[in-house]
């Protein structure tokens, strides 16, 4: 406990799922948290739950990560409420899975606007302050799609490969200023999006069982398991980890199968 005491963290896409879990665990560990979320009502509800559960400071700010001005506004609101940002978690993302030859230009732009431009917009908004203060930690939520390709998921893995490239490039660029940039690559995690996908299949129970059968641990991850990895990377326990990616997938990406 208290591994993030005194720190201020902004988490994008923090209204639900992995982002909400990160905000919750950060608050439990002592951080003041800002939930930057497109769905303000959901973010406000989550922030209130965090405040009640942990007697923590939590603020919800409506944020469209595809718009740099919106992200900068969230950073300004965070600093006005709690002080300079120590931590940024770029979590907001969407699944865009298409056939490459029938995908529309809009599908391509939508995927990259959120999954890659959104990460860059977050980094660009916080880096000047972090560089000036000579300290900061950025954690980008990538995916195992960043290094493993599954047919039928285009162009999502292209964007997530970009997130890893951005993480490494910025990590090296600002290492001399003591600003660390790292990534987490989750595998299958039990979020509402995962359940929505199962429920959209002809046989939801069979789809769920097929997913679980592919996992070495015969289960999928929990959002809080990704969140605890984010705590480690954001904390003072990881001062020499930079431009790196930690995989959180129960061993799935290491498994060879047909």
Q: Which residues are catalytic?
A: 156
Q: Which three-class secondary structure state does DSSP give residue 181?
A: strand
144-183 as b/e: b if 16+ CB within 10 A = bbbebeeeebbbbbbbbbbbbebbbebbeebeeeebbbbb
Report d(CA 8, CA 33) in Å as an integer: 6
DSSP bridge partners of 114: none
Report d(CA 38, CA 18) in Å as an integer: 15
- Upper half-sphere CA count for residue 143 (Cβ side, 13 Å): 23
Please tell me what DSSP assigns to residue 221. Answer: B
Kindly report the length of the chain: 258
């Amino acid at each position: 406990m208290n591994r993030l005491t005194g720190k201020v963290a902004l988490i994008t896409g923090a209204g639900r799922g992995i982002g909400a879990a990160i905000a919750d665990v950060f608050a439990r560990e002592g951080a003041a948290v800002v939930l930057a979320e497109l769905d303000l009502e959901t973010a406000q509800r989550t922030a209130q739950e965090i405040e009640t559960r942990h007697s923590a400071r939590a603020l919800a700010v409506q944020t469209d990560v595809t718009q740099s001005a919106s992200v900068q506004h969230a950073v300004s609101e965070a600093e006005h409420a709690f002080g300079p940002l120590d931590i940024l978690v770029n979590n907001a993302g969407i699944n865009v899975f298409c056939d490459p030859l029938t995908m529309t230009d809009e599908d391509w732009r939508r995927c990259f606007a959120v999954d890659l431009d959104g990460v860059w917009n977050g980094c660009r908004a916080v880096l000047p302050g972090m560089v000036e203060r000579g300290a900061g930690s950025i954690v980008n939520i990538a995916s195992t799609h960043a290094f493993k390709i599954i047919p039928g998921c285009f162009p999502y893995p292209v964007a997530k490969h970009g997130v890893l490239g951005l993480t490494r490039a910025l990590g090296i660029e600002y290492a001399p200023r003591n600003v660390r940039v790292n990534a987490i690559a989750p595998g299958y995690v039990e979020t509402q999006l995962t359940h929505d996908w199962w429920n959209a299949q002809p046989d939801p129970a069979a789809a769920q069982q097929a997913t679980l059968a592919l996992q070495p641990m015969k289960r999928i991850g929990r959002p809080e398991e990704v969140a605890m990895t984010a705590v480690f990377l954001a904390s003072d326990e990881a001062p020499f980890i930079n431009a790196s990616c930690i995989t959180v997938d129960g061993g799935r990406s290491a498994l060879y199968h047909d």
